Structure 1
Amino acid sequence: MITGETVRAAMPEVAPVARSVAVTVVAALCAMRWGPPGSATAVAGAAAIAGVAALQRDPRGRTLRVLVVSVVLGIAVLVGTSTSAVFGAFVVAAGAWCALAALPWVWSAHAGLVASASGALLLGTASTAPTWEATLGVAVLAASSGAVQAAVTAAWPPRRWRVQREALVAAYGSLAEDATRLAADAHEPVASAEPMMALRAAFAADTAQPRRRSAGYRNWYVVPARIGATLSDLSAGAQTTEILHAAAATLTALADADRSARPALDAALQDLDAAVATAGDTDRAAAQRLSAYLHLAAARRPHDGLRVRPADLRTRVRARLEGLRERVDRHSPVLRHAARLGIAVATACLLGRLTAVGDGTWIALTVLMVLRPETAHTYTRCVGRTAGVAAGALVVSCIAVVAHAAPAVFVILAGVAIGVAHAAWRYGYIALAAAIAAAAALVLGIDHAALIDNPREVLVATAVGGALAVLAHVVLPDDPLTRLAQRAGELLKTEIDYAATVVKVYLHEIDSATEVRAAAWERTFRARAAFEAASGAARLVSAEQRRWLRCYRSVLNSITGSCATLEDNLPVDAFPAQHRPFVRAVDEYVEALCGEPTSSTDPWSVDTEELTAAAERVRRSVPAHEAVEGSARVLVSEIASITRALCQVADTPWPAASH
C-alpha cells in the first residue's frame, strides 16, 4: 500500500448513518409490499442516494438540498421507466441524462457523484415493464423515499450539528456580554476566547491532514471571531457606546434559541445600521466592519436551518447557474467528462443488447462507478476502481447463486452494504468502489436478481465497463493546455498540502508526525511527475505561457525550500498553552492557505487577500520575550515567504486552451 494513502480519515457518525440505512430498508420493504411491481429497487436506490446527500458537513440548507435531490431522483426514475419499452429511446435518454449529470462536477465532487448516482438509478429501474400507472407510481415512491430521508434528518440531526449549534449560541451569548461590558467600560477585556476556541473545535476538528473547507462553512466559526476582534477595536473609540449597545442587542437575538426571535434580530440590525451611520470618522471603519460581520452572521443564524427566504433561494440558484455557464466551454474538462460519460453509457447499453459480452445494465453501471474527470492518476484509478467493482459485484453474485435469496433478504443485505459503504471511503478508493458496487448489486437484485446471478457474466460486464471507461479517456482526452493547467493546479494543491502539514507539525504535537510528512511529500512527488509529463506534452509557444512556467517553477521551489527550512528547525516540544492566540492565528493561516475545496475546473484556488491578512495576523501575534520566540520567528519568516510565492503565481495568467 502506498504510504500516501495510509492516513485515515475519521469514521462517520454511527447514529445518523444507522437512521439513514433504516429508512432505506423500511422504504424498500414497504414498496415490495404495497408498491407497483419493480418499485423496490427504485425506492431503495433513491433513499440511499438521498441519505448520502443528507449527511453532508454543512448544516445550512440541508433539508432543501435533500428535497431537491429527491425530486431529481424521481425524474430519473420516471425517464428510465417510461423509455425502457423502446430500446432506442432508452439508449438516447440514458446517454443524455448521464452527460447532463456529469455537469455538476463544476460545483464540487460531491455534487457530481450524487448526480451520477441519479444516472445509475435511471439504468437500474429500466428493466421494469412499464405501464403509465406503474411508471408514475414508481417515480412518486422514489421521490417520496428521499423526502422521508429529509424529514428524518431534520427531526434527528447528527450530533455534530447539535454540538455546532450549541457552540454558536454560546459564542454569540459571550460576545453579547462582551459588547454590553465594553459599552459600560471601554477598558474591560474581551472574555470570549474560550467560547471562540470551543466554536472552532466544534466546526473544525484538529487533524494531522489539512482540510479544505469552503468559505461559507468557515464563516460559521470565523465570523464570530472577527466580531470579537472588531468589538475590541471599536471599544477604543470615543463615541461608540450606542453602537456597542446595538451590537449587544443583535448578538443577544442571534443567541436566542427561539425561532420566533427573527423579528427582534431584524429590528436590532436596523438599530445597529442607524448607530453606525452616526459614527465619527475615526470609528467609522471599525463600525462598518462590525455591521458587515453582524449582517453576515444574521444571514446564517444557527436556528434558521429550515428557513429559506425566496430571495436567498433565487440568489443561490442564479449563482450556481452563472458558475456553470462560466466554467463550461468547449475546452472545459467537465464538458469533456460529460461527453465521455454520455457516449460510454450509451455504448454500454448497445453492447449489452447487440453482443454477448455481458449484461448492458451492469456494463453501464460499471462505467458510472469507474469514470471520473481526468486527473493525474486517471488510468491507475480507472483500473483500481474496476478491480474494486469486480470484487464487490462478484461477492454479491456468489451470494445470489448459493443462497437463492428472497427479495426481502436482498433488502436487508443492501442496507448492510450501504452502511459499510459509508465507512469504506476512509480506506481508499478501491475499497470504496468495492463497497459501492456491492450495495448497487444488492439494490439491483431486489427486483432484478437475474441480472446478477451469473458470476461469469458479472465479471465480463465489469471488465467491459472498465475498458470502456479507459477507452473513453483515450479517445476523448482533455486539451493539452487544459491538461497542463489541471496538472499544475493539482501539483500546487499537493505542494500547499505539504506546506500546511509541515506548519501543523511545527506547531502541534501530532501522532506519527514523520509518517504524515512523508505521506504529504510522496503525494507531492507523484503530482510533480504528472506535471512534468503534461508540460512535456504541451507546446508552450507564446512568451506569456513560458513566463508563467518559469514563475510557476520558481514558486514551487520557494515553497519546497520554506518547508525544508521548517523541517530543519522543528521545535522539540509543542507550543505551550499560554500562546493560544499565536497558535490560533497560525491555524487560521493554514485554512486560508489550503483555500477552497477543489473541483474539476478549479484544482487549486486561494484568496490572496485573505491569505495576506492571515499572514499579517500571525506576524502580529508572535509571543515576544518568550522561550519560543525564536521558533515563532522562523515560522513567521517562512509563512511570509510562502505567502509571497503564492500571491505571485496567483497574479500570473495561467495557460488556457483558448490561447
Structure 2
Amino acid sequence: MTWAQSLKEIVRSGLMIERNRLEPLVALRAAAGVAIVIGLALWAVSPTYAASAAFGAFSAGAATFQRSWRPRKVIALAAGAGLAVSTFLGYLAGAHLVLFLLLLAAWTFLAGMAWAAGPTAGIVATATVGIMLVTVTLPTTVEQALEHAAVIAFGGVVQATLILLFPIRRWGAHRDALADALAAVADYARRLRQDPVAPFDPEPLMTARSAAMLTPWQARHRPAVLHGPRGLAERVRPVVAALADPRIGAPVEGPGRDRARELLGAAARILDSAARSIRRGTPVRTPSEAMEVLRIDEEDEVLEGPARQAAQKLADLLTEVVEIADSGDTHVVSGRTSGGADRPPLVRPTMLQLVPVVLRAMRRELHGDSPVFRHAVRLAAVASLGYLLGTELPLGHGYWVPVTSVMVMRPDFHRTYSRAVARFVGTSVGVGLATGAVELTHPHAYLAGGLAVASAALTYLLMRTGYAASQASTAAYVVFLLGMGGQEWHQTVRDRLLLTLLGGVLAMVAYVIFPAWETPRLRDRLADWLAATGRYAAAVVGGYADPGQHRARVRRALLAGRRAHAAWDEAFERAKREPVRHRGLSPSEAEEAEDAINSSGRAAMLLETHLPERGARPVPEAARFAEALEADTAQAARDVRERRDPDWHRVKEALDAWEGTDSGKDPVVRRGAELLVRALEELTTAVGRTPLERDVESSRQERRAQVEEEEKKEVAGREREAARRPPTEED
C-alpha cells in the first residue's frame, strides 16, 4: 500500500462511526459517579478540588468501558489508584522541570510497556500519564499533593461503589462472549451446507475461553449456564466440519449429502436458540422440528461409516448444549454446577497475583525488535519533547501537546495515525460546541459542572462508536471542567486546537522515525503459525497410535495453534495497511500460504473428530507419521524464516511406508494423513516460487478465467437463441 492509499484509509477509519450496541444505563451510571464527585467537591471544598476529583471519576469511569473480564468495580478501583499515584508523583515533581521530565519519561515508558499485558492494561496505564500532565493546580507541599491524590482516588471509589450498588446486566460480557461462540459455530454450520470446506474464524472461541478464566470469587458466583456450553461449542465445531467434508464425511451428492445438509441446518437452529437463551437469560426455545431431524434412525439412516459417526456425535453434543443452556442461573457450589459439569474452572490471577505476571510479560518484551518496547520508547520520547514544546510556546496550557500525543499513540501504525486524525476532528467539534454553549450561558461553577456531567454522559454513551465521536464530547467535558476550576474561558479554548494538532503531528512523526512495521516480520509470524499447526497435527495423528493418551497434548497444541493463528491474522491485517513494501513475502504469497496452513489445520481438525477412545485398536504407522510431521514442520518453520523452500521428505517417506499395511485403507486416519501432505505441498508452492514463476502462474490463471468466461457467454448465447427459435415438428 502506498502512502497516499494508506493516508486515505487512515482518514476514513479515523472518522468512521461504528454501529456497536450502546449501553445507555451503564453510561448513565458512570455519569452519575462524575456528578456525585463534582457536587460533593463543590459543596464541601472548592471548584478547584471539584475539577481535580472529576478528572479521577471520569477516567475511572472510562476505564470500566475497556474490554476486560474482571468486574468493573475492580477496574474502577485499580484505575483510581493508578491515577492517584501518578497525580501525587506529578505534583511533587512538577515544580522542577528537569525532575518532572525524568519522572514523565520513566512513567510513560512503563505505561507503554504495560501493553505487554494486553490492550486494557495499556489503555488504563496511558490514562495515568494524561492525569499526571493535566495539573489543574500545582501544590507546593507534600500535604497538598496527598490531598489531591486522595481526591483523585475518591473518584474511582465512587464509581466502584455505584457499580456495586446498581449492577447492570451482571455477567453480561461473559454471556455475550459465550453466546457469540455458539452463534459463530451456528453460522459455520450454515455455511458448510453450501461450501463443505468453508473456513472458520476461531476468534469467538478464543474470546469465550478468555471470558471463562475466573478468579476464585467469580468461580463461586458464576451462573451455572456459563460453565459448560463453551467446551461443547469447541467440540461441535470439528464434528460439523467432519460431517460436511466430502473427503471423510458425507458424499459429494445424493441422499447422504441431502441428509448432511438437514443435520447442519438443524444444528445451526439449535445453536442459535441456545445462544439467544444465554445472551438474554431466558429459557431455551428449541425448534421441535430441528430436534426431530437430529434423531438417527438405525434402520433408515442413509449416512454410513465416519459420516454416520459424526452425525450421532453431533446429535449427542447438541442435546447437551440444550440441557446446559436450559439449566437456569443457579450458582456454582464448590466448583460443581447444576448442569452436572464438575471440571475446575480456568484460573485467572487476582489483581495482586497479576503483578508478577505483568512484570514477566514486560521483561519478555525488553528487546529492540519488540513492537511494545519500541512503542514505550516512542511514548516516553514524545511525551518529554511535547511537554518541553508546550511549556516554551506562548500559548498557555501547553500540557495539551503531550496529552494529545500520549492518548493517540498505539503500538501499531494504523491506529496511531487514525486516532490522531480522529482526535483533531473530534476536538475541533467539541471545542466549537463548548465555546458556543459558554457564549450563550456564561455559566457559573455549578452550571459548568452540570454541563461537564452532560458531556461525560455523552462520552460514555459514544465510547464504543468510534474515537472521533467520543472525543468531541470529551473535549467539551474538559473545556467545561477547566472553566469550573477557575481557568478563564478564552485561555481554555483559544489555542487548544493548535496544541492538539501539534501533539498529533508529533505522534505521527515519531512513528515514521522509529517505527515498528509488521510487514518485515510476516515470515516470522507465518513460521510460528506453521510450527504450532504442525505440533497440533502431530499430536492428533499420534492419538491414533496410542488411543486415549494424547487428549491433553492435543488440547494444548490446539490452543497454541490458535494463538499463533490470531497473531498471524493481526500482523497480516496491520501489514496490509502499512505503507511499506514487502520483503520476501508478497500479499498474494501470504494469502496462499495462509490457505495452505488453514488446510493443514482443517485436516488435523477432521482427524481430531474421530480420535479413538482408550482401549481402541492402535495404528502403529500413525506414530511414525506423527514424528515425521513434527520434525518436518519444525524444520519448515526455520526454512520459511530464512527464505528457503520447505521440504517434506520425512513425511512423504512415512506416508509411503503406510501404504499396503492393514490401516493403509483406513477411511479416516490414512485419508487425513494424505490431506495433510497435500496441504504442506501447497505451502511449499506458495512460498517457494520465484517472482517469474508467480507472474507466469498469475497470467495463466487470468487467461483460464477469460476462457471460462467466454465459454459461459457462448453457452448462454446458444440457450437464448434456442429459446427464441420457433418449435419444429421434431420438438
Give the TM-score range, shorter chain: 0.5 to 0.7
Q: CA 1:115 to 1:229, structure 2 compared with 1: closer, same or farther past 3 Å?
A: closer
Please point out which of 73, 88, 94 is paired with 1:78: 88
CA distance in 1, matches of 2:42, 2:185: 41
* 1:90-109 correspondence to structure 2 within 5 Å: 90-109=100-119
Supply the distance in 1 between the matched residues of 2:187 and 2:57 (Cα, whole angstroms). Answer: 29
**What is aligned with 2:344?**
295
Deviation of 1:437 (Å): 2.7
Cα deviation for residue 120 of structure 1 reads: 1.4
* Equivalent runs, 1:343-492 vs 2, <5 Å: 343-376=381-414, 378-379=416-417, 381-400=419-438, 403-450=441-488, 453=491, 455-478=493-516, 484-485=520-521
CA contact (8 A) 2:30 2:460 kept: no
Deviation at 1:113, TM superposition (A): 2.0
Q: Provide the residue aligned with 2:651 in structure 1.
A: none
Q: Is the 8 A contact 2:429 2:472 kept in 1?
A: yes
> Which residue of 2 is the match for residue 41 of structure 1?
51
* Equivalent of residue 534 in structure 1, options 564, 576, 580: 580
- Match for 2:24: what amino acid? V
**Structure 1: gaps spanning 5 or more residues:** 169-195, 237-246, 273-289, 301-310, 494-522, 541-545, 563-592, 594-605, 620-636, 653-659
CA distance in 1, matches of 2:185, 2:444: 44
The structure with more radius of gyration: 2
Are the aligned partners of 2:84 and 2:152 in contact in 1 as well (CA < 8 Å)? yes
Question: For residues 180 and 469 of structure 2, what CA distance do their matches in structure 1 show?
Answer: 35
Question: Is the 8 Å Cα contact of residues 386 and 466 (structure 1) preserved in structure 2?
Answer: yes
Distance in 1 separating the partners of 2:605 and 2:441: 63
1:224 aligns with 2:229: yes
Does the C-alpha gap of structure 1 residues 230 and 645 become closer, same or farther in structure 2, counting only changes over 3 Å? closer
Matched residue, 2:24: 14
Letter in 2 for 1:484: P
The answer as to whether partners of 1:452 and 1:458 remain within 8 angstroms in 2 is: no
Return the offset for 1:488. 9.5
1:505-584 alignment runs, 5 A limit = 530=577, 533-536=579-582, 546=584, 549=585, 553-557=588-592
Cα gap change, 1:133 to 1:56, in 2 (>3 Å): same
Q: Deviations over 1:55-112 (max 9, x none)?
A: 4555544433332222111112212222233333333333332332222222333332
> In 2, Cα distance between the equivalents of 1:83 and 1:647?
61
1:74-473 equivalences under 5 Å are 74-125=84-135, 127-159=137-169, 161=171, 200=182, 214=207, 216-219=209-212, 221=226, 223-226=228-231, 257=330, 262-263=333-334, 265=336, 294-296=343-345, 315-376=353-414, 378-379=416-417, 381-400=419-438, 403-450=441-488, 453=491, 455-473=493-511
Residue identity opposite 1:344 in structure 2? V
How far off is 1:337 after superposition? Answer: 2.0
Distance in 1 (alpha carbons) for counterparts of 2:96 and 2:462: 38
Quote how far apart the aligned CAs of 1:20 are.
1.0
The alpha carbon displacement at 1:21 in A equals 0.5
With normalisation by structure 1, the TM-score equals 0.57
- Give how far 1:139 is off: 0.9
Structure 2, unaligned stretches of length 5 or more? 1-7, 192-199, 214-225, 240-308, 310-319, 530-569, 612-671, 688-731
Q: Per-residue CA shift, 1:330-375, capped at 9, x if unaligned?
A: 2222222222222222222222322324531222222233333232
Task: Decide whether aligned partners of structure 1 residues 614 and 333 sit closer, same or farther in structure 2, where only a CA change above 3 A counts.
Answer: farther
Instruction: Provide closer, same or farther for how the CA distance between residues 648 and 437 of structure 1 changes in structure 2, counting only shifts above 3 A.
Output: farther
Cα deviation, 1:32-73, whole Å, max 9, x if unaligned, reads 222366322221111122222334555544433332222111
8 Å contact kept, 1:329–1:335 = yes
- Note closer, same or farther for the CA distance 1:615–1:117 as it changes in structure 2 (3 Å cut): farther
Q: Kindly provide the amino acid, as one letter, of the partner of residue 100 in structure 1.
A: L
Matches of 1:388 and 1:198 in 2, distance apart? 32
| Cα drift, residue 615 of structure 1 | 9.4
Taking a change above 3 Å as real, the CA distance of residues 31 and 58 of structure 1, as seen in their structure-2 partners, is same
CA change 1:331–1:402 in 2 (3 A) is: farther
Distance between the aligned counterparts of 2:446 and 2:682, measured in 1?
A: 58
User: How far off is 1:24 after superposition?
Assistant: 0.9
Contact 2:208 2:230 (8 Å CA) reproduced: no
Tell me the secondary structure at the aligned position of residue 449 of structure 1. coil
Q: 1:462 to 1:140 in 2, by over 3 A?
A: same
- C-alpha separation between the residues in 2 aligned to 1:136 and 1:123? 17
Tell me, in whole angstroms, the C-alpha distance in 2 between the residues paired with 1:409 and 1:84.
30
Matches within 5 A, 1:576-595: none
Quote the Cα distance in structure 1 between the aligned partners of 2:155 and 2:681: 47
**Deviation string, structure 1 residues 3-51 (Cα, Å, up to 9, x no partner):** 8786833232211210110111111221222236632222111112222
Q: State whether residues 38 and 447 of structure 1, in contact with CA within 8 Å, keep that contact through their aligned partners in structure 2.
A: yes
CA distance in 1, matches of 2:66, 2:571: 28
Tell me the CA shift for residue 555 of structure 1: 4.5
Deviation for aligned residue 1:142: 1.4
Separation in 2, partners of 1:203, 1:35: 56
Distance 2:473 2:45 in 1: 28
* CA offset digits 1:608-652 (Å, max 9, x no partner): 979954896699xxxxxxxxxxxxxxxxx9xx99x9699969xx9
Instruction: Among all aligned residue pairs of Structure 1 and Structure 2, give the percentage whose two residues are the same amino acid.
Output: 23
Matched residues in 2 for 1:44 and 1:441: separation?
13
Query: CA contact under 8 A between 2:396 and 2:491: conserved in structure 1?
Result: no
Residues 335/56 of structure 1: CA separation in 2 closer, same or farther (3 Å cut):
closer
Shift of 1:393: 2.9
Cα RMSD between the aligned structures?
A: 5.1
How has the CA–CA distance of structure 1 residues 314 and 553 changed in structure 2, closer, same or farther, with 3 Å as cutoff? farther
Give the counterpart letter for 2:41 in structure 1.
A
TM-score (norm 2): 0.52
